[in-house]
Amino acid sequence: MHAFRQAVEARDHAAIERLLADDVVFTSPVAFKPYPGKAITAAILRAVMRVFEDFTYVREIDDAGGTDHALLFTATVDGKSVNGCDFLHVDADGLIDDFMVMVRPLSAANALSEAMGAQFDQIRLEAADPSVRVF
């Protein structure tokens, strides 16, 4: 099992952040532009954990080289069932340097977009100042 999956399932925010490279790029399923950097990515992931209900990884696919991973999940957002996948790439140090999320169906993606939009002021605060983190 990938260490990121273990950290998420344990809801271990510190372990999740330790697995992110400083130059990680997060690509959201609902935002046009990617988010570069560890601080903003960690803040986004904390918000996702606040927004998703009943989150469960259901399958893990790894490449033979061990650098690319796909973690399929289910969750609920505002009463909408979500199916999604976290696509992770790890660098030579084993840290996540590319993190892309895809979700379906459209109604769930729209619910996720709305819920994350409501979190974004807090995300910006957390990314700028770690002392204001909300778990």
Top CATH class, 3-127: alpha beta
**Predicted pLDDT at 33:** 93
Bigger pLDDT: 1 vs 94: 94
- The DSSP 8-state label assigned to residue 89 in this structure reads E
Mean pLDDT across 76-102: 97
The kind and range of the H/E element at 2 are none
Bigger pLDDT: 133 vs 84: 84
User: Does residue 42 contact residue 20 with C-beta atoms inside 8 Å?
Assistant: yes
DSSP, collapsed to helix, strand or coil, labels residue 34 as coil
Mean pLDDT across 82-100: 97
| Confidence (pTM) | 0.93
User: Where exactly are the structural domains of the chain?
Assistant: 3-127
